[in-house]
Chains A and B, each alone.
Chain A
Amino acid sequence: MTFEMVERGPAVPTDSHVVRRRARGLVVDDPDGELVARWKAGDEKAFEDLVRRHEKRVFRLLLRMMGSYEEAQDVSQETFLSLHRHGRRFRGEARFSTFVYRVAANAALNRRRSLGRRRARIKKLVQHNEAGDDLPQAPRDPEDATAGYELSRHVRDALQKLSPALRMPVVLYDIEGLAYGEISKVLGVAEGTVKSRIHRARQALRVELQAALGSSVGEGAP
């Protein structure tokens, strides 16, 4: 019997923007890997680049979760400050973007934990709708200026009526476009749970939107 040298195949081409890492048996291709490594080495400019790279998705998620432009702005800053404080805990077991979403989700849930505030907000929303006061007094959200503002407003209002436990997964899935597995990592729940919550959230939204928009939701299937 002879032993032969087995050729291992071509080396994986290295990409400056993609760092292949092996962490606890998982290989993760992370487009942020290089910046994260530089930041961990003390390069604050790398952190700034990470903030600029992720600010849009963080703000978008938080706006959908908080429902208020100002509050989303505030929590976005807190998210990145928290990321700066605790980012060294990131060990590359998932994409850095997943970690960012997780920090943002925690910030949003912590901020919204006060049930009293939520109830007050819903009550205010209901009173607002019942009064027929549909016109925004001072549109701060750029969405307000769009032609589809009215429809968007109904969707945003309906989202705000969901509990955070249902709102977060449906926002991450239908608006942010994350996969079930990624949402599962962000929220720390099983994929099956994520799927079921998304479905329940959509059902609740359908009921809300049907009530607000009449039959157009039921019959306007794309």
Chain B
Amino acid sequence: MNHADIQKHMADYLEGDLSLDRRALLDAHLDECEACARELAGMRATIALLRSLPDPEIPAGLADNVMRRVRAGEGRWTWLDHVQSAVSFLISPPVLAPVSAAMLGAGILLAAGQIQLGIPDPEPAAPAHRIAASQPAPSPARAASSGLAESDVLPAGARPIGASAAEAPESHAHSSRLAAGDSRGSQRRVILFPHPAVMPPPGTTASENAAHEFAALVDMLHAHQQVPRPPLARSPQSVQVSGGAARARADRSIGGAGLSRGLGTAALSSALPGGSELPSADEWLVLVQRSPSAFADRLAVLSLAEQELWVDHLARRAVELGSLEELLSVLRASSNDRARILADDFAAAGHRSAAEAQAASRGDSSGLPD
């Protein structure tokens, strides 16, 4: 039993959730280690202080004020509630998945028609910023290579980049090339964001179809134009695949969580000359290391459950790549509070992942470190 073990088991120790033998081991260490004993005492004192906070006095007339406002009609559904409810329904996965698949199919047909016929972009002066939340994103790596602002490809949900051509930086060009057009003046800018909140649920056929269709589109466009290679060192674990279906299979193998589907769509869009690509999670990890602050801020706008999903998935991949420690040091060195908190999230998720892998290798199905 050492300092690290104490840190690992302190929460359970404080809650009395440790087995007797492990508790005895911790007690033995605490008897000898003044630093750990002091820290434990500090934790206990902190908990005691928290629990000793006096109950505040309830403001007089709180319930009366509430009921007065209810009687005045403020407790009823307003037109805004109806709109919000309708929007929530429309962006719910069961509705959005088939719609996005249909839109994607239409996009493929349109793009195919333009390429075959060589039709120039009809609106070169005012490029359309099309956002599709549940559709595949441009590869963050490719976006980075093209100078696209990193924050613009982080998981902030569907959000337009700039409202006009004047606002859109020139650096968006490469990410736009995927859609159509080969000259700067005639690019159709299509910026697509993955958003885990609106992703189709696992097993949704429409989503899989969309992934396959998009991969086919990428392949098709590759045959007509050269997409810039992201300047990233390819990890030895990167998946060597070719063809849309193979990419989709490889991506599914990267992570089982629903998140991998969203990140996977980004991977699908990052097809590189030579028929190989980096797994999308790797690309996200590079982005996290490059700008932990921006990543943490963007992640913060998601719900807690979504944040957990992202962290869990990326931490697992970092453990697989052996880059977790490097990632943690970058996050901890950040001046951003959220990034530093995120480091703890990554550490916890990485530890969990490592423990599960260890348990799996032992044939232990529980995956829990007692």
B112 on the interface (CB 8 Å rule)? no
Q: Complex formed: what's the CA distance from A55 to B57 in Å?
A: 11
Residue of B nearest to A155 (CB): B49
* Stretch in A3-11, A27-35, A146-154 with 4+ CB within 8 Å of B: A146-154
**Contacts known (A165-B304, A189-B308); A143 close to B54, Cβ less than 8 A:** yes
Could you give, for residues 188-206 of chain A, a 1 whenever the CB lies within 8 Å of some chain B CB and a 0 otherwise? 1110110110111011011
Could you give, for residues 79-123 of chain B, a 1 whenever the CB lies within 8 Å of some chain A CB and a 0 otherwise? 001000000000000000000000000000000000000000000
Residue of A nearest to B46 (CB): A206
A218 on the interface (CB 8 Å rule)? yes
Establish whether residues B63 and A52, one from each chain, have CB atoms under 8 Å apart when the complex forms.
yes
Residues of B within 8 A of A51 (CB): 62-63, 66-67
Q: Complex formed: what's the CA distance from A152 to B245 in Å?
A: 60
B1 on the interface (CB 8 Å rule)? no
Could you give, for residues 24-54 of chain B, a 1 whenever the CB lies within 8 Å of some chain A CB and a 0 otherwise? 0000000000000011111111111111111
20 A-B pairs whose Cβ atoms sit less than 8 Å apart in the complex: A44-B70, A55-B63, A77-B66, A80-B63, A81-B66, A81-B69, A81-B75, A113-B301, A163-B337, A165-B304, A165-B307, A170-B50, A174-B51, A189-B308, A196-B344, A196-B348, A202-B43, A202-B47, A206-B39, A221-B48
Sorted from nearest, which 9 A-B pairs have the closest CB atoms?
A84-B75, A221-B41, A199-B11, A142-B57, A218-B42, A221-B44, A174-B50, A206-B46, A80-B66
Q: A48-B67, A77-B66 are in contact. List 20 more A-B contacts (CB 8 A).
A: A59-B58, A59-B59, A69-B59, A73-B59, A73-B62, A80-B66, A146-B54, A148-B52, A152-B54, A165-B341, A187-B304, A193-B308, A193-B348, A196-B11, A202-B46, A205-B46, A209-B45, A210-B42, A218-B42, A222-B48
| A residues with CB within 8 A of B | 44, 47-48, 51-52, 55-56, 59-60, 63-64, 69, 73, 76-77, 80-81, 84-85, 113, 115, 141-143, 146, 148, 151-152, 155-156, 159, 163, 165-166, 170, 174-175, 187-190, 192-193, 195-196, 198-200, 202-203, 205-206, 209-210, 216-222
